Amino acid sequence: MQTIIAEIPLAEVTTYARVLASMTGGQGSYTLEFDRYDIVPGNIIQDIIAKNKQEEEEE
């Protein structure tokens, strides 16, 4: 068994279960623990704003 400890943004975890299952033949597992809020990088802020504007226009 191998244990990896890492910090990653929650947005990056959304597809992790599928990727981990694919990489480990369904045998891998992971746990999440909230650590802190942090500053969002500028390029990601622009993506968030654009997505929210698009969703508002669709409503």
Tens digits of residue pLDDT in 3-55: 889 998 888 888 888 999 999 999 999 899 999 999 999 999 999 999 999 99
| Cβ neighbours of residue 4 closer than 8 Å, sequence gap 6 or more | none
Query: Nearest Cα to 39, choosing from 5, 9, 6, 7?
Result: 9
Say what the pLDDT of residue 12 is: 85
pTM recorded for the entire structure: 0.56
Half-sphere exposure of 46 (CA within 13 A, CB side): 2
CA distance linking residue 43 with residue 49, whole number of Å: 10
Tell me the CA end-to-end span of the chain in Å, nearest whole number. Answer: 48
CA torsion sign for 7, 8, 10, 12 is: negative
- Domain positions in the chain: 10-58
